[in-house]
Amino acid sequence: MKKADIVEFFARLAEDNPAPETELEYVNNFTLLVAVVLSAQATDVGVNKATRRLFQEVQTPEAMVALGEDGLKEHIKTIGLFNAKAKNVIALSEQLISEHGSEVPADRDALEKLPGVGRKTANVVMNSAFGAETFAVDTHIFRVGNRTGLAPGKTPLAVEKKLEKAVPQPFRLHAHHWLILHGRYVCKARTPECWRCKVADLCAFRPKSSPPKQTRRAKTQGDI
């Protein structure tokens, strides 16, 4: 994608949603970190449903350790891989207490040393908690980056590196949220909804998808 097209691409997404935010619910940096760890291979909707009561009771690493692994499992048992995730959350809470004064570190390398925290999770926390211009490449961003031609790459890291080079100011801070939301609600995995995409003319994907027959019929009848 050409530089001018990239600027236009993000300008349109920004116009539609000037201040995008994560759809995960949290109350502070610690609960954000926990929510992102829990969201691996799970939906934000499912994580939010499981953590609403949890985050009313637990908002610090100390409170999480006091809750314990079994207590945490009771809260998150509806989330995939909840056994492993509970173990990691308790372990990272203990590590935050012992190594970081119970604070979430504003450093990607330090975050990646926490149990259950990979590069994507660290990038999300750095962006949402500390305003860092990071690009957390999940399945949505990986798909959008490749499908549109914005940041093609064979691995999430390759797409991240392409985005680092391609995304200009003033769009860098919010770019990863725009791309996630675009992939989640418009540029969907099975069938992208090109007919309602605000950047379809800038996108390399071919052929463009058409609206479902029922939608086209309803629109035609409404025009009569």
Q: Identify the active-site residue in 138, 161, 208, 213.
A: 138
> Catalytic residue at 16?
no
Annotated binding-site members for [4Fe-4S] cluster: 187, 194, 197, 203
Assigned token pair, 33: 């970190």
The Cα 206–Cα 153 span in angstroms is 18
Cα→Cα distances 160→83, 89, 102, 140, 168, Å: 30, 26, 30, 12, 14
Helices (H), 58-114: 61-76, 82-100, 108-112
Catalytic annotation present for 120 = yes
Please, where are the H alpha helices in 22-60? 29-38, 44-57
d(CA 67, CA 144): 39
- Kindly state the tokens that stand for 32: 């954000």
> Do the beta carbons of residue 1 and residue 9 sit within 8 Å?
yes
Q: Name the active-site residue from 73, 85, 120, 162.
A: 120
Annotated binding site: 187, 194, 197, 203
Token pair listed for 7: 């600027």
Q: Scan for tokens 């090109």, then name that residue.
A: 194
What angle do the packed helices 119-130 and 29-38 form, to 10 degrees?
150
Are the C-beta atoms of 53 and 100 separated by less than 8 Å? no
Tell me, what amino acid is at 116? G
Q: Annotated catalytic sites, by residue? A: 120, 138
